[in-house]
Every structure is written in C-alpha cells, then in structure tokens.
C-alpha cells in the first residue's frame, strides 16, 4: 500500500432512504435561509455605519461653529456621553452647592461626591427639555429644540430639582389597594364591590392618629406620611346618592376636576341604620374591652360608670332585640371561646360575595332572593350551628342551578336532605363534581321554592350556618342569612387571605380524613359534615389554630384583637362603642362639627359633655370638640371660615329633596359647596366628600383627594422627565 493514499474497499455504498433525502433537502433550505438573513444583516450594518458617520460629521461641524462651548447631547456612543455628563454634574455641584441651601427634610441628604476640577477655559452647556421651572424658559434653544443652560445655571436647576424632590418626599399620599380599586366607579357596576361607611371612618381615624388608630384602613387603601397632613375636612351631604352623581356628572365639575379617587359605598341608609352613628361611633377593640372587663367586671357596668361609652346597634337583617344580655348566656363546654367570634362581619360578607338584603346598586342583583327567616334573634355563645352544602348542575341558562341540598346538625345528623329539579333543562350534570346523574333526577318533583320553604321552617331564628365558601350555596338556594361561619376563611394555610384552600385538603391536614375520592362526584352530606367537624375543631383550640396568618404573628393578643374587631362589626349585634372624637382629642388634636341644630344634637349624643362646646368658644381649654350650629344653606361657608383652625372637621348638610322644585339648581348648589370647601382647605390637607345615598334608593359615594401644592405637581413632572 502506497503511503499517503487512502484506499476504499470494493463494497458498494448503500443507497439513501427517502427520509434521509428529505433531511438533506431541509438542511439545504435552512442553509439558504441563513444565507439570506446574513445578507440582510450586512446591509443593516452598512446602513448604521453610514448613519453614524453622517451624525459625527454634523456634530463636528456644530462644535466648530460654537467655539469654546461643549454641547452634551444624546448621541451614538451613549455610554461615553453619559459618563461625561455625570462627571460634569459632579463638578458643577462641587463648586456651586452649599449646605445652607438644602431643605430641612432629613430623608434625602445632599449628594457629596468628589470629582475632578472642571476645565476653566470651557464653560459647559447642558441641553434640557422645554418643560423647565419658571425663570429658565427664556433661554436659547439648540438645533434639537432643547433649552441650553450654562454650568452655573445648570447647577442652580439641579439644586432646585433636588430641593423639590425632597419636598415631594414629605408630601402625604393616598392610594387605593385592590379592594379599594374594586369599589372604584371606574369598575363596571355589575362587577363593583362597594365599601362600607365604616371603612371611610377607619381612614379618617388613620389620618389623625396614624399607627395609633385602633382601626386601620389597610384592607382597601394606603395613606403615606399621615403626619404631614395639614388637616382633614369631611363634607357629608345627606340626601344625594351615587345615582344622582352618575346621572348628572357634568353638573359636578368641582368633584370631577379635583377628586380622582371615587368609590361606591354602602351607607347605613341601605339597611335602616344611622349615618351619624356610623361616622361618630367607633366600636371598642379587644384590648379596650379587656381593660374594661378587668376594671368593672362587665361592659354593662362599665357603661354606667363611664360617660364616654355608648351602646350602638347595627342592623342589616331584621333582628329581634332581646331583654337579656348576651353575657348572661353560658357557652358550651366544648368551646374554648364564643362561636360568635368566627362569624363573618358585614365587610367580609361583601368581600366574599355573600348575598345581603342591601338596597341600592346591589338590590337588583338579589331581587329574587329570600331571607331564611322573617325575623332573627340575636346570636349568642350557644346558638345552634348547622352544616350546609349544595350541589349544582349547569342548565340552558349557562348558570349553575341547585340540584341537591344537605343540612347536618352539630351531632352530624342529617336533618334535611333532598334532590331538586331545576326549571331549566340541564345541559351538563357535572357528575365528576356534583355526583348528580340523569337517573337520580328522573323522578324528582321538588323545586327551589319548596326547598326555601322547608329551610325557612327548619332553621331556628338564631341559627349559624357553617360551610365551605358558603356564598355559592346561598346563591344556589337564592337565600340570605346573617350568621355565617366559612371554613375557607377561618382556616388558612396559604398565608394569603385571597387564596382559599380546598375542603379536601383541609380535611386531610386537620382531620386526617380523605373525602371527595374517586370520580363519582362529591357527596353534600360528607362535605357539610366535614365543615361542621372543622368548625368544632377550631372552637376546641384557639383563634390562631389553622390560620397561617394569625399563627405567623405569634401573638395571641393580636389574634384576639383582630377577632374582637370582626366581632365588633358582626351583623345585627349590640356593641359598646366610644366616640371617634375621643380618639382624636387624645392626641391633642382639635375637632369641629358644623351643621344644623338637629345634626349637632345627634353628634352630641356620641360625645361626653366634658368634651364638646356649643357656640363660638373655640379657645376652651377643656373642650376639644367645637360645634357650630347654622342653617343647612350656610354650613359650607361656615366650614370654609373655620376649616384651617382645626385638625379634623365634619360639615354635615341635609338636603331636603321634597322641598326642592328644581333638581338641576340643587345639584349646582351642591357643586358650589364642594368647590368652596375644596378651595378653603390648606395644601396637604385631605378632603373627603360623602354622598349619603337614599333609603330604598341607590348607594352612596365617596370622593377622596389630598390637596397638592402647585409647585409640587410641577416639580414632580420635571423630575420624571429627568
């Protein structure tokens, strides 16, 4: 064999298969495509290089025409220009900024950077957009249309921007959180979840007391730098509703132009409550109740001894007022605390989309719903609990309709069980989840109204319904009930209130039971019994049990505080409360109320005599709440005169629509009141306008805004452009 010569065997090569030939063709096509892309990239590179050369030539010509000046502008070499710009800023600050020119706000100390000395023969010229503060707008502009500043002028502008930025950090801010956004008027009406007037009360208390406030509005909004608020003014207009504003929005420019936060609220008029009570009375916290119990033995005795305590009654459902006190009822031995502490509050009922007999915008949503009882009794420590669960199927309406309902008592005995035949034809039995089949409903004659009638006669007037996400079951039943314990709320293993845990996982984790197994669907008796056992297990332990959020705090006192707060807001309950003004005045804040004689009398009933002063004795040392009695027509003007003298002011105007001949004139008059009050408050003052809603009518509305100094808005815009 010759060296360097490769030999091959005489064996013949195998012919290529069809698949191999296809692969080769695909590779050829890919290579051709890559080649075309490479050609396009080369063309792009050539075009960019030509553009860069042209730009550099134009810049060099500009530099020659401006001898002794250097123009900093955004060019092709962005990193290099940015570095030069930073060096120039450091040099000019070092030579022109002194410590005495800095603001007193300690949150943003002046920059202290060392840099090389600027070249004396070159005076820097800096280009800026045209939106400069006053005093810099008359300077010449460069070829690009931007204002050109010399070194000293630029240093002055930089110093002013820094000072304004520091001032912005000291300005109070208000913003809505997710819950507040869902109550905003920007959300569609059928998707909106209104807030309660008590939510607004919590915001007002926070604006005065900050973290010292017994109740925080953190569930729906955030108030930053509350201590920078100059004062708070509330304009409450009784007689107007959300519908009035939305139907005649063009007649309220004082609101549309100045108030960006507009939310729907459920006012007490929707459930025959008292607006003044909701505004003036703040329920006692758990800590406050504990102190009174230790000092007086009972809250009833505490009320007799202290004049700053008041008994309030908040009713959403029709509740019979008993002659005996709840404290006289002994709780079951198996419960370590009262089961009423697990009840959902009205706020939670709204948040969890439970049907409520509220008037206004929610009225149409539950127009065909019925109450579980015509008259309820006040819930007690030993009110009976009933586990409830329903199964549903999808019908021709596209909605889920009731097909089975099961109710068990505390002994896990089935007290009611039936299948239900919907009026609409079933399109999907959802057997995998509901366990319902066509055969099970073939002979059923029970209808929805039969179930409603049976439940109404079965449940006692103080019954507590227990279930997992019970709002869906009540929706299917088209019934409303005041006393609810929701296992998806009292148990939380995710650490997030908005993430619910499935019932099967709760049963496995806490009961060691496996439920909802197989593909034959859920059993409503099994699910209702599981919910009852979970609730009983919770009552046998503590309030933190099964709740990752409360347990994460590692403080039983905080957990008790939260649950007592929920208990204070629970529906249809008597509560001991104190005045919102007593909290405000404890922090050495001054307060004022402006209204007619009838309004002042009602507010006075929620304050002790030693706290208030009627008339113009505003310099009284012992009476921190000043009441100004005036006619409804002059409430706004009186408020404008005294608003800046007090930390907290409530102006309450009653609009009598029966005596108003022309509604358009009335709306325009209300608009003038709103504008006058807005213009009278000081910068950094918070203004809250509340429309009370109407009985058997629409809900109320609330408009919130913090008044900004004019320079703050301009400085904020300028800083953002930088």
**Residue 387 tokens, joined:** 């586990």
Least confident of 321-325, 501-505, 577-581: 321-325
pLDDT at residue 654 in the model = 93
Residue 235 has pLDDT above 90, yes or no: yes
Which H or E run contains 653? Answer: strand 648-654
Distance, CA of 34 to CA of 75 (rounded, Å) = 32
Contact 229, 203 (CB under 8 A): no
| pLDDT, tens only, 66-114 | 444 444 334 444 444 444 444 444 444 443 334 333 344 444 444 444 4
CB 273 within 8 A of CB 689: no
The helix/strand/coil state of 563 is: helix
Neighbours of 120 (CB within 10 A): 6
For residues 171 and 712, the answer to whether their CB atoms sit within 8 Å is: yes
- Is residue 177 within 8 A of residue 220, CB to CB? The reply is yes
Q: ∠ CA 92-93-97 to the nearest 5 degrees? A: 125
For 614-647, what is each residue's pLDDT tens digit? 765 544 455 678 999 999 999 999 999 999 999 9
For residue 5, count other CB atoms closer than 10 A to its CB.
6
Residue 114's pLDDT is what?
A: 45
Return the axis-axis angle of helices 78-96 and 151-169, rounded to nearest 10°: 90
**Close Cβ partners of 617 (under 8 Å, ≥ 6 residues apart):** 623, 626
Which of the two residues, 318 and 376, has the higher pLDDT score? 376
- Give me the pLDDT at residue 62, please: 53
CA dist., res. 706 & res. 173, Å (int): 7
CA distance 436 to 594: 62
As given in the structure block, the two tokens for residue 261 are 């936060």
Lowest model confidence (mean pLDDT) among 119-133, 157-171, 564-578: 119-133
Whether the Cβ atoms of residue 316 and residue 307 lie closer than 8 Å to each other? no
Per DSSP, which regions of 158-197 are E strands? 173-176, 195-196
CB 486 within 8 A of CB 513: no
- CA nearest neighbour of 176 among 219, 207, 236, 211: 219
The pLDDT, as a whole number, for residue 70 is 40
Q: In what helix (H) or strand (E) does residue 712 lie, and over which residues does it extend?
A: helix 710-721
Output the pLDDT for position 165. Answer: 74
Question: Do residues 337 and 539 make contact, with C-beta atoms less than 8 angstroms apart?
Answer: yes
Look at the block and give the residue holding tokens 């808005």.
713
pLDDT-derived band at 565 (thresholds 50, 70, 90) equals very low
Ramachandran class of 308: left when φ > 0, alpha when ψ lies in -120 to 50, beta otherwise: alpha
For residue 602 the two structure tokens come to: 């009602």
Contact 111, 159 (CB under 8 A): no
Taking all residues of the chain, what is their mean pLDDT, rounded to a whole number? 78
CA distance 529 to 533: 6
How large a percentage of the chain has pLDDT more than 90?
39
User: How is residue 549 written in tokens?
Assistant: 């959020």
The whole-angstrom separation of Cα 350 and Cα 595 is 32
Q: What is the mean pLDDT of residues 481-505?
A: 87
Report whether pLDDT(220) > 90: yes
Instruction: Tokens 């099970």: give the residue.
Output: 440
Residue 697 CA from chain centroid, whole number: 25
399 phi and psi, to 5 degrees?
A: -100, 165
Q: How far apart are CA 161 and CA 457, in angstroms?
A: 72
Q: Are 236 and 652 in contact (CB under 8 A)?
A: yes
pLDDT tens digits, 242-288: 999 999 999 999 999 999 999 999 888 877 778 998 899 888 877 78
- Unique residue bearing structure tokens 């009852």: 532
Q: What is the pLDDT of residue 648?
A: 93
Query: Per-residue pLDDT for 484 more than 50?
Result: yes
Contact 259, 669 (CB under 8 A): no
Indicate whether this model's pTM tops 0.75: no
pLDDT of residue 341: 86
Q: Which residues contact 15 (CB under 8 A, 6 or more apart)?
A: none
């Amino acid at each position: 064999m010759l060296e360097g010569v490769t030999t091959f065997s005489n064996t013949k090569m195998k012919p290529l298969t069809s698949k191999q030939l296809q692969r080769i063709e695909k590779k050829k096509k890919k290579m051709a495509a890559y080649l075309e892309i490479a050609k396009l990239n080369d063309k792009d590179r050539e075009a960019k290089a030509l553009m860069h050369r042209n730009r550099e030539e134009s810049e060099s010509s500009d530099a020659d025409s401006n001898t002794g000046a250097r123009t900093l502008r955004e060019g092709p070499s962005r990193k290099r220009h940015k570095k030069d710009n930073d060096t120039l800023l450091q040099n000019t600050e070092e030579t022109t900024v002194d410590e005495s020119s800095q603001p007193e706000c300690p949150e943003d100390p002046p920059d202290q950077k060392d840099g090389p000395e600027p070249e004396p023969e070159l005076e820097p010229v800096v280009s800026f957009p045209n939106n400069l503060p006053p005093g810099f707008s008359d300077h010449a502009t460069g070829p690009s249309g931007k204002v050109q500043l010399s070194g000293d002028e630029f240093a002055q502008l930089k110093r002013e921007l820094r000072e304004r930025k520091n001032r912005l950090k000291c300005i109070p801010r208000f913003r809505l959180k997710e819950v507040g956004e869902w109550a905003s008027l920007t959300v569609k009406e059928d998707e909106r979840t209104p807030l309660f007037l008590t939510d607004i009360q919590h915001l007002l208390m926070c604006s005065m007391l900050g973290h010292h406030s017994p109740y925080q509005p953190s569930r729906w909004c955030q108030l930053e730098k509350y201590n920078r608020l100059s004062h708070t003014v509330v304009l409450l207009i009784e007689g107007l509703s959300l519908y009035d504003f939305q139907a005649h929005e063009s007649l309220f420019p004082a609101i549309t132009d100045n108030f960006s936060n507009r939310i729907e609220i459920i006012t007490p008029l929707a459930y025959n409550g008292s607006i003044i009570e909701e505004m003036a009375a703040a329920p006692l916290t758990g800590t406050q109740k504990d102190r009174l119990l230790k000092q007086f033995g009972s809250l009833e005795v505490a009320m007799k001894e202290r004049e700053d305590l008041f008994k309030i009654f908040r009713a959403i459902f029709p509740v019979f007022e008993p002659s005996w006190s709840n404290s006289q009822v002994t709780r079951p031995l198996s419960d370590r605390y009262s089961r009423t502490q697990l009840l959902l509050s009205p706020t939670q009922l709204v948040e969890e989309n439970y049907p409520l007999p509220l008037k206004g915008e929610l009225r149409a949503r539950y127009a065909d719903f019925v109450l579980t009882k015509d008259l309820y009794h006040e819930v007690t420590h030993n009110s009976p609990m009933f586990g409830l669960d329903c199964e549903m199927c999808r019908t021709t309406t596209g909605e889920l309709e009731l097909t089975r309902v099961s109710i068990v008592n505390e002994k896990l005995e089935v007290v009611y069980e039936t299948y239900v035949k919907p009026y609409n034809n079933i399109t999907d039995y959802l057997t995998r989840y509901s366990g319902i089949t066509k055969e099970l409903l073939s002979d059923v004659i029970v209808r929805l109204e039969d179930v409603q009638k049976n439940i109404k006669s079965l449940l006692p007037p103080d019954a507590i319904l227990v279930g997992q996400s019970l709002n869906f079951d009540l929706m299917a039943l088209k019934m409303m009930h005041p006393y609810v314990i929701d296992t998806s709320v009292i148990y939380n293993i995710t650490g997030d209130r908005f993430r619910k845990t499935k019932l099967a996982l709760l049963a496995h984790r806490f009961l060691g039971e496996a439920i909802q197994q197989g593909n034959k669907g859920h059993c409503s008796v099994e699910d209702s019994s599981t919910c009852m056992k979970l609730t009983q297990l919770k009552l046998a332990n503590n309030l933190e049990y099964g709740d990752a959020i409360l347990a994460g705090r590692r403080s039983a006192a905080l957990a008790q505080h939260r649950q007592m707060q929920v208990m204070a807001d629970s529906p249809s309950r008597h509560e001991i409360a104190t005045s919102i003004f007593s909290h405000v005045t404890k922090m050495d804040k001054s307060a004022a109320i402006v209204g007619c004689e009838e309004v002042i009398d009602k507010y006075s009933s929620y304050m002790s005599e030693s706290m208030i002063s009627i008339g113009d004795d505003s310099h009284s040392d012992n009476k921190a709440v000043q009441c100004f009695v005036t006619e409804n027509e002059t409430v706004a003007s009186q408020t404008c005169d005294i608003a800046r003298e007090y930390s907290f002011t409530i102006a309450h105007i009653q609009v009598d629509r029966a005596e108003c001949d022309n509604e358009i004139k009335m709306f325009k008059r209300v608009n003038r009141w709103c504008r006058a009050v807005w213009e009278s408050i000081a910068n950094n003052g918070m203004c809250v306008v509340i429309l009370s809603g109407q009985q058997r009518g629409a809900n109320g509305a609330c408009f919130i805004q913090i008044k900004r100094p004019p320079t703050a808005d301009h400085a904020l815009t300028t800083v953002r452009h930088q």
